[in-house]
Amino acid sequence: MLTHLRQVVQRLNPDAILLGEVDVAVEDYRHYFGQGDRLQMVLNFWLNKYLYLSLAQQRAAPVVKALQAMVTPPDGCCFVNWLAQP
């Protein structure tokens, strides 16, 4: 479905992007990126959670662990890093 949606959106406006609000386990982000043919951008809930844990614990280790576990998006895709209001 995401692949089809991307095709339709690109046909209507080649400059448009699909941004996903996806809060899943880190390995499941691959599904939403596909082979670069689904969502171009995904909100990085994974890193966001670990950033707040690092701040609460006053240690960098949780962020380091999160970054090491992250998947690499396909070419043309990326994570959107952001800070939620606690």
| Across 45-54, average pLDDT | 95
Which amino acid is it at 29? Y
Residue 85 lies in a domain: no
Q: How far is residue 24's CA from residue 46's CA, in Å, rounded to a whole number? A: 8
pTM of the shown model: 0.88
Domain that holds residue 52: 2-80
Helix (H, G, I), strand (E, B) or coil at 85: coil
Residue 23 lies in a domain: yes
Residue 86 lies in a domain: no
Count: domains in the chain: 1
| Across 32-58, average pLDDT | 97
The H or E element spanning position 19 is strand 19-20
Neighbours of 19 (CB within 10 A): 11
Residue 55: C-alpha distances to residues 6, 8, 25, 71, 85 (Å): 37, 41, 21, 23, 13
Residue 22 lies in a domain: yes
pLDDT reported for residue 84: 77
The DSSP output letter for 81 is -
